[in-house]
């Protein structure tokens, strides 16, 4: 019973996290069979995330196998913080420096997609906006007063929020963000940036549970086996029934 309760808590925790607050989450299409998406997501992760965040439960050689890359390709294009293909995806940034620069401990991202959810990550990475009152000059509509800079700003550009005024349940007037205006264009347009973020989130979902695709593949074979077994068992049942009837008449 105790194991069942623990398994249930692990299953519902992401849903409870996503259900908290009143932030609208945009849906993202996650497809871990899309190797091109995962490869692009890995490239974005090591270029824009791995300098501060780690993914200490993922090894480069495991990633190479799952993403259908050679060890040479990974070492040449995706390894900037390690020297050996068997190393985990850690960073060299000192924890004391991280605390001083960001005001908080920089989290490891190994299981963030599982704890936060893919939709939350997708929305969060597309919700940064200009805020001169913040230390890094940006804020986030999904995670208010976040200590993280907008590391993807050169791709998306910088956005200014557009506010609308409305009354809350108590009748008080409040302002909320209704949209954004481009303050500084980035290298990508809106559709291209959304796709890039989708690839990055897709990769982070993979990092959170690398064995998921193997489970899906195994599940398909199990269903095929059960289908074949059903046909054979049904034929045997019919045959045994006919044999019983013949023996009964004799």
pLDDT by 10s per residue, the chain, length 250: 444 443 434 444 444 444 445 678 999 999 999 999 999 999 999 999 998 899 999 999 999 999 999 999 999 999 987 789 999 998 867 677 766 777 777 889 999 999 999 999 999 999 999 999 998 999 999 999 998 999 999 999 999 999 888 887 787 888 888 889 999 999 999 999 999 999 999 999 999 999 877 676 666 667 787 778 778 787 777 777 666 555 555 5
Q: From CA 147, how far away is CA 93, in angstroms rounded?
A: 17
Contact criterion met (CB below 8 Å) for 29 and 195 = no
* pTM of this prediction exceeds 0.85: no
Q: Tell me, what's the pLDDT at 6?
A: 39
Q: Tell me, what's the pLDDT at 250?
A: 53
- Report residue 180: phi and psi, to 5°: -140, 155
Burial of 196 (0-12, 13-18, 19+ CB in 10 A): buried
Q: Tell me, what's the pLDDT at 226?
A: 78
Q: From CA 66, how far away is CA 154, in angstroms rounded?
A: 29
Q: Tell me, what's the pLDDT at 11?
A: 42
Secondary structure letter of residue 141 according to DSSP? S
């Amino acid at each position: 019973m105790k194991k069942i309760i623990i398994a249930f808590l692990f299953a519902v925790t992401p849903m409870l996290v996503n259900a908290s607050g009143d932030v609208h989450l945009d849906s993202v299409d996650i497809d871990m069979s899309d190797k091109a998406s995962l490869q692009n997501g890995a490239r974005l992760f090591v270029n824009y995330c791995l300098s501060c965040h780690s993914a200490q439960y993922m090894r480069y050689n495991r990633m190479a196998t799952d993403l259908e890359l050679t060890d040479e390709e990974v070492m040449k294009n995706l390894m900037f913080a390690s020297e050996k293909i068997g190393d985990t995806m850690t960073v060299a940034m000192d924890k004391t420096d991280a605390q001083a620069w960001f005001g908080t401990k920089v989290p490891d991202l190994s299981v963030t997609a599982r704890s936060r959810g893919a939709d939350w990550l997708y929305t969060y990475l597309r919700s940064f906006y200009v805020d001169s009152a913040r230390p890094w000059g940006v804020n986030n509509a999904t995670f208010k007063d976040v200590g993280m800079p907008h590391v993807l700003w050169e791709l998306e550009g910088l956005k200014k929020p557009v506010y609308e005024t409305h009354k809350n349940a108590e009748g008080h007037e409040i302002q909320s963000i209704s949209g954004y205006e481009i303050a500084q264009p980035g290298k990508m347009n809106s559709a291209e940036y959304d796709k890039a973020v989708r690839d990055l989130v897709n990769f982070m979902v993979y990092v959170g549970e690398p064995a998921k695709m193997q489970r899906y593949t195994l599940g398909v074979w199990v269903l095929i086996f059960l289908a074949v077994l059903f046909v054979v068992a049904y034929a045997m049942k019919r045959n045994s029934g006919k044999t019983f009837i013949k023996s009964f008449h004799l």
